[in-house]
Copies of this chain bind each other. A is one copy, B any other.
Amino acid sequence: MISSLTTTTTQQTQHLHGESPPGDDITILNAEEAFLPPLFDLHRRFPRLRIVLEHCTTAAAVEAVKACGPNVVGTITPHHMLITIDNWANDPFNYCKPVAKLPADRLALITTAASGNPKFFLGTDSAPHALSAKRGGGDGMGKCAAGVFTQPYATQLVLDAFEGAVEKGILKSEALSRDVLTGFLGEFGRKFYGEPASKRKIRITAGQDRIMEALKFGKDEEKIVPFRRKEPVYTLEWI
């Protein structure tokens, strides 16, 4: 089963898109959970292999990463911290693989990202698909490409997710310390990959910014529609 997965190896680290292939009882909804037994097996057989379970979308995946040793970590995307199945069902610009799951899963991702556990850090999985690919190709009758485009707004979207959880009483704002935020947004990942700590800083301010409606590219009228287009967003500056 492992051999059929999308994997990337960097610096002796295995990056896994952890979903089992479709089958009689495997759907896009439980494909990630179905992959957890093979993940445990892989980790048991190769305990020194460094594994990144990319874009965790379920409470089960988060718990699995926690249950493994320090060589197994997980990334979490901004969009999976913000949406559930209801958001992508009728909206291709929220549709990605693995698909966003249930409210309890989203909650688990947010609380894990806010926990300061260095086994979890941001991985955007941002995918700049063309509008036409999102809309079924030239005749509009094909399938929808999977992926959401968040890259310019990744940090701000994570903060939005945290803020929403604070407003709902799910997180306490004092839990979101500078160490927790910088750890999840970058330092936990840098440490795992053996990179030195970043010396650059960002400043986030609440202003009048909105997410762009679309990003033009290439020839013709092709464009990329970002996640949460036109919605208010924090302003981010490198300082």
Residues of chain B within 8 A (CB-CB) of A27 are 84-86, 102-103
Residues of chain B within 8 A (CB-CB) of A135 are 135-136, 140
**Contacting residues of chain A (95-119) with chain B, CB-CB under 8 angstroms:** 95, 99, 102-104
Determine how close the nearest CB of chain B comes to the CB of A67; give it in whole angstroms: 26
Asked if A22 and B92 sit within 8 Å, CB to CB, the answer is no
| In-complex Cβ contact of A85 among B29, B140, B146 (8 A) | B29
Residues of chain B within 8 A (CB-CB) of A143 are 90-91
CA distance A143 to B122 in the complex (A): 28
CA distance A154 to B24 in the complex (A): 25
Check: A28 CB closer than 8 A to any chain B CB. Answer: yes
Output the nearest chain B residue to A134 by Cβ-Cβ distance.
B140
Asked if B102 and A229 sit within 8 Å, CB to CB, the answer is no
Asked if A229 and B141 sit within 8 Å, CB to CB, the answer is yes
**Contacting residues of chain A (126-172) with chain B, CB-CB under 8 angstroms:** 131, 134-136, 140-141, 143-146
Check: A25 CB closer than 8 A to any chain B CB. Answer: yes
CA distance A24 to B24 in the complex (A): 30
**Contact A103:B136 (CB < 8 A) given known A91-B143, A95-B90:** no
Residues of chain B within 8 A (CB-CB) of A95 are 89-90
A residues contacting the other copy or chain, number (CB 8 A): 34
Check: A225 CB closer than 8 A to any chain B CB. Answer: yes
| In-complex Cβ contact of A86 among B28, B84, B90 (8 A) | B28
Residues of chain B within 8 A (CB-CB) of A227 are none
Q: For A29, A102, A131, A225, which residue has the most chain B Cβ atoms within 10 angstroms?
A: A29
| In-complex Cβ contact of A131 among B22, B28, B141 (8 A) | B141
19 more A-B residue pairs beyond the given contacts A89-B95, A89-B99, with a C-beta to C-beta distance below 8 A: A24-B103, A25-B103, A25-B104, A28-B89, A29-B85, A29-B102, A90-B95, A90-B144, A90-B146, A91-B144, A92-B144, A131-B140, A131-B141, A134-B140, A135-B135, A135-B140, A140-B140, A141-B213, A141-B214
**When A and B form their complex, which 7 residue pairs have the shortest distance between CB atoms, in order from nearest?**
A90-B144, A90-B143, A135-B140, A135-B135, A27-B86, A27-B85, A91-B143
